[in-house]
Amino acid sequence: MAVRHHLVERPPEAVWAVLADGSRYDRWVVGTSETREKTPGWPATGSAIEYQVRLGPYRASGRTVVRVSEPRRRLELEAHAGALGTARIAIELRPWGEDETLVVLDEHPLRGAGGLLHNTLDDALLQLRHRSMLARLARLVERSPR
């Protein structure tokens, strides 16, 4: 299981505003591009976004479905990666002082080959990916107008 946290210098409402915009995921989620809402209402429970996944020469379509949505507090997603299976991605927003947010990202394989082949090397690679993702998310939030 790969858990990582990052302090964002904006309140939870500002972080949620970015998470609630499905069209912006390609700006902070490493490996994704061309994000669009597949179903209306993102991030309502059951809504979904689609995107392209690019890792070197590898390209595939991906889809992420909202499983739990608690505005300004918690978002749990299930990312579908074709033959690799699915992953659970939980994003928790914790108020930190008056104007900051501690973002906790927890991801692990849920179904399919990814779950069967999961190991500590996978977790180490996820940690590197999460470090970059959370830094991108923080920059996006902190540069957004107040």
pLDDT digits (tens, 9 = 90+) for 30-74: 888 888 888 889 999 999 999 888 777 877 888 999 999 999 999
Rounded Cα–Cα distance for residues 126 and 109 (Å): 11
Residue bearing tokens 């501690």: 102
What's the confidence (pLDDT) of residue 83? 72
Say how far apart CA 73 and CA 75 lie, in whole Å: 7
Rounded to two decimals, what is the model's pTM?
Answer: 0.89
User: What is the Cα–Cα distance from 130 to 101, expressed in whole angstroms?
Assistant: 17
Q: What is the pLDDT of residues 93-134, one digit of tens each?
A: 999 999 999 999 998 888 775 555 665 666 667 677 779 899
What CA–CA distance (Å, rounded) separates 34 from 54?
Answer: 10
Domains of the chain: 2-143 (3.30.530.20)
Matching residue, tokens 């299976």:
85
Helix (H, G, I), strand (E, B) or coil at 139: helix
pLDDT: is 142 or 59 the higher one?
142
The tokens of 22 are what?
Answer: 């499905």
